[in-house]
Amino acid sequence: MEDNRVLEMRGIVKTFPGVKALQNVDFSLNKGEIHALMGENGAGKSTLIKVLTGVYSKDAGTITLEGKGEVAIHSPQDAQKNGISTVYQEITLCPNLTVAENMFIGRGEGKITNWKKMNEEADKLLQSLEIPAKAKQQLSNCSIAVQQMVAIARAVDMDCKVLILDEPTSSLDEQEVEKLFGLMRDLKARGVGIIFVTHFLDQVYEVCDKITVLRDGQLVGEYEIKDLPRVQLVAKMLGKEMDDLSDIKGEGGSYEGADADERVFEASELQSNAGIKPFDFYIKKGEVNGFTGLLGSGRSECVRAIFGADRVLNGTVKMHGKEVKIGKPLDAMKHGIAYLPEDRKGDGIIGDLSVKENIILALQVLTGFFKPFSKAQVNAFAEEYIKKLNIKTASVDTPIKSLSGGNQQKVILARWLLMHPEYLILDEPTRGIDVGTKVDIQKLVLELAKEGMSVTFISSETDEMLRTCSRLVVMRDRKVVGELSGGDLTQNKIMSTIAGDK
Ligand SMILES: Nc1ncnc2c1ncn2[C@@H]1O[C@H](COP(=O)(O)OP(=O)(O)OP(=O)(O)O)[C@@H](O)[C@H]1O
Ligand SMILES: [Mg+2]
């Protein structure tokens, strides 16, 4: 084994019923290295990590750790004991405890004998890692980014040699990502080996030293970052060259009906109980527009108010020029509005139901459960969207919880597309979705608009907004501060409007 090696996985095999999730995969990690694990949705990234952390048992292969030789890891506790720590995307801390309690709780090493000492130790560690939090602060008062860093601090203090971050950045804004990267670099300098899973290519090139690419459960290769330009990385992930991404807008034309100027939805002085300033908003037939602004600027709150997902306090809403009342999501759905929420875990996925049941759900709610669709219809709907969105699933009857993270998201997106709503609202529809499918989804949105659907789009990635939207509403501090269209639709213009530059 190379001197510098901290982890070596060889010939890892893992099979689920009907799925070869990992076929003879090798992976190795050096001390003080940040190593990206990349691949399309369902490629096997999370499975490899779960084998390493003892969540899944492997069918074959070996795991060797620096100084310890081959190790048997049968549970997350075994992994911990061997210095392997994981921070999952969903934060698994306790929000109603303090920062220090979260860092030390459940460690059972008898290390902490009293509260005072615990708080002191916590503050020391927070300081040394430059994490902007105090030991005695309640965790729920910290931003998501800081909460994530606390999770990392917890992991680090456990004598960690290998730190695994599975899509840690998908709910962070740019500044928060920078802070997280600072922390990662710091740990790297201390010799920790870091495995980083993400779908953001920019981030990979900013912070990583090496890349391992998986495709369909197989190892494609391991590369030094400097030897693998972006286009080649994408080609390796997809197994083919990707079409030019630059211009998908305008390619297929836009909606040309006689009613193209009609305002399908219009709100004035709309205000909800979620703390946003009253705002005006409209969308025309066949238009794609969007809300942009930093995370927490109120983008999501605006669309939640439109859909009746938060309680509306004030304002009027019109559809096709006629005043309507939208007090709750079902009212909105009855008026032909559909909404893909940002928080899919809380609002969307029903884990024990099958893929097809999850897809049909919203349409069934709308038509009423007493008028069920036939089995053949449901299967046909499900199969249509599995194909359209390239959903990787063993069958339509597979429980959604056994799909990879990105594929679960696609199922929820299918649920709303299937409704063929007149007005579709998508909040971060491509988060956690791989580059190839991202483009497919953007194209699908533009196609639907061309057929006359109106779509409001929210994404943290401004290039994605620029590629799909013809008009952007800009938000800052929970207030609408501008609107951009035509020649003003540029990255710079968005940034300066968000910043409030004149
Ligand atoms: N518990 C499970 N039961 C059955 N199949 C599973 C289970 N976990 C994963 N799979 C399957 O194994 C394959 C690899 O999934 P995995 O979660 O490792 O993908 P991933 O690379 O992490 O994708 P994503 O980017 O979407 O998170 C997928 O086809 C998935 O459906
Ligand atoms: Mg995954």
Residue 112 confidence (pLDDT) = 56
For residue 41, how far is its CA from the centre of ligand 2 (angstroms)?
7
The secondary structure of 22-54, three-state, reads EEEEEEEEECCCEEEEECCCCCCHHHHHHHHCC
**β pairing state of 34-38 and 210-215:** parallel
Residue 187 lies in a domain: yes
Other CB atoms closer than 10 Å to residue 70's CB: what's the count?
10
pLDDT at 118 over 80: yes
Instruction: Express as a percent the part of the chain with pLDDT over 90.
Output: 46
- Tell me, using a 6 A CB cutoff, whether residue 404 lines ligand 1: yes
DSSP 137-154: SBGGGS-HHHHHHHHHHH
Q: Which atom of ligand 1 is nearest to the CA of 432?
A: 25
Considering only CA atoms, give the Rg of the chain: 24
Residue with CA at minimum distance from ligand 1 atom 31: 403
Residue 246 lies in a domain: no
Residue 243 lies in a domain: no
Q: Which helix (H) or strand (E) holds 479?
A: strand 479-485
Same domain, yes or no: 226 and 265:
no
Q: What is the dihedral of CA 10, 14, 20, 24, to 10 degrees?
A: 10
User: Among the residues of 329-422, which ranges form H helices?
Assistant: 329-334, 344-347, 355-367, 375-388, 405-418
Which pLDDT tens digit goes with each residue over 293-314?
877 788 999 999 999 999 999 9
Contacts of 370 (CB under 8 A, 6+ apart): none
Residue 413 confidence (pLDDT) = 87
Same domain, yes or no: 165 and 118:
yes
Same domain, yes or no: 68 and 188:
yes
For residues 295 and 460, the answer to whether their CB atoms sit within 8 Å is yes
Write down the residue that tokens 């099979």 correspond to: 15
- Among 355, 387, 420, identify where a domain stops: 420
- Among 420, 451, 478, identify where a domain stops: 420
Give CA separation, 20 vs 252, 328, 352, 426, 486, in Å: 38, 43, 22, 32, 48
**pLDDT band at 194; cut points 50, 70, 90:** very high
Residue 282: strand pairing partners: 266
Residue 436 lies in a domain: yes
For residue 430, how far is its CA from the centre of ligand 2 (angstroms)?
14
Q: Which ligand minimizes its atom distance to the CA of 212? A: 1
Residue 156: name the closest of 196, 132, 133, 190 by CA: 190
CATH code at 299? Answer: 3.40.50.300
Q: Which helix (H) or strand (E) holds 103?
A: helix 99-104
Residue 99 lies in a domain: yes
Helix, strand, or coil here: 96? coil
For residue 35, how far is its CA from the centre of ligand 2 (angstroms)?
16
Residue 84: strand pairing partners: 162
**pLDDT band at 315; cut points 50, 70, 90:** very high
- Among 185, 204, 238, identify where a domain stops: 238
Same domain, yes or no: 370 and 446:
no
- 3-state SS of the chain: helix, strand, coil percent to 5? 35, 25, 40
Residue 28 confidence (pLDDT) = 96
pLDDT at 246 over 60: no
Mean pLDDT of 104-119: 69
For residue 473, how far is its CA from the centre of ligand 2 (angstroms)?
32
Residue 88: name the closest of 434, 432, 458 by CA: 432
Write down the residue that tokens 């219009």 correspond to: 266
Residue 97 confidence (pLDDT) = 83
Residue 275: name the closest of 301, 307, 249, 255 by CA: 301
Q: Which atom of ligand 1 is nearest to the CA of 409?
A: 26
Cα dihedral across residues 209, 429, 166, 50: positive or negative: negative
Q: What is the dihedral of CA 94, 100, 105, 111, to 10 degrees?
A: 180
Q: Which helix (H) or strand (E) holds 236?
A: helix 230-238
Determine the structural domain holding residue 103 and report its residue range: 2-238
**pLDDT band at 43; cut points 50, 70, 90:** very high
Same domain, yes or no: 433 and 492:
yes
Range picked from 73-77, 183-187, 259-263, 278-282 for highest mean pLDDT: 278-282
Other CB atoms closer than 10 Å to residue 390's CB: what's the count?
18
Mutational pocket test of ligand 1: of 40, 199, 403, the residue with most ligand atoms within 8 Å of the beta carbon = 403
The one-character DSSP state at 320 is T
Mutational pocket test of ligand 1: of 13, 16, 220, the residue with most ligand atoms within 8 Å of the beta carbon = 16
Gap between the Cα atoms of 109 and 172, Å rounded: 33
- Tell me, using a 6 A CB cutoff, whether residue 46 lines ligand 1: yes
Gap between the Cα atoms of 276 and 272, Å rounded: 7
Residue of 247 and 215 predicted with greater confidence? 215
For residue 200, how far is its CA from the centre of ligand 2 (angstroms)?
13
Which pLDDT tens digit goes with each residue over 346-379?
556 676 789 999 898 878 877 776 777 888 989 9
Mean pLDDT of 52-72: 93
C-alpha 267: how far from chain center: 29
Same domain, yes or no: 326 and 414:
no
Same domain, yes or no: 435 and 377:
no
For residues 306 and 281, the answer to whether their CB atoms sit within 8 Å is yes
Same domain, yes or no: 155 and 125:
yes
Residue with CA at minimum distance from ligand 1 atom 19: 42
Same domain, yes or no: 305 and 170:
no
Helix, strand, or coil here: 316? strand
> Residue 487 has which token pair?
């020649």
CA triple 169-299-266, angle to 5 deg: 150
Mean pLDDT of 93-106: 79
Range picked from 145-159, 356-370, 416-430 for highest mean pLDDT: 416-430
Mean pLDDT of 63-69: 89
For residue 408, how far is its CA from the centre of ligand 1 (angstroms)?
10
pLDDT at 343 over 70: no
For residue 114, how far is its CA from the centre of ligand 1 (angstroms)?
42
Same domain, yes or no: 34 and 146:
yes
Same domain, yes or no: 261 and 225:
no
Residue 267 confidence (pLDDT) = 97
Residue of 154 and 8 predicted with greater confidence? 8
Mean per-residue pLDDT of the chain = 87
Gap between the Cα atoms of 40 and 23, Å rounded: 16
Residue 249 lies in a domain: no
- Burial (CB < 10 A; 0-12, 13-18, 19+), residue 404, is buried
Residue 227 confidence (pLDDT) = 94
The total of structural domains in the chain comes to 3
- Tell me, using a 6 A CB cutoff, whether residue 21 lines ligand 1: yes
Mutational pocket test of ligand 1: of 12, 47, 57, 58, the residue with most ligand atoms within 8 Å of the beta carbon = 47
- Tell me, using a 6 A CB cutoff, whether residue 405 lines ligand 1: yes
Residue 424 confidence (pLDDT) = 95
Same domain, yes or no: 233 and 268:
no
Mean pLDDT of 468-475: 94
For residue 234, how far is its CA from the centre of ligand 1 (angstroms)?
20
Residue 248 lies in a domain: no
Amino acid identity of residue 248, one-letter, is I
pTM of the model: 0.78
**pLDDT band at 166; cut points 50, 70, 90:** confident
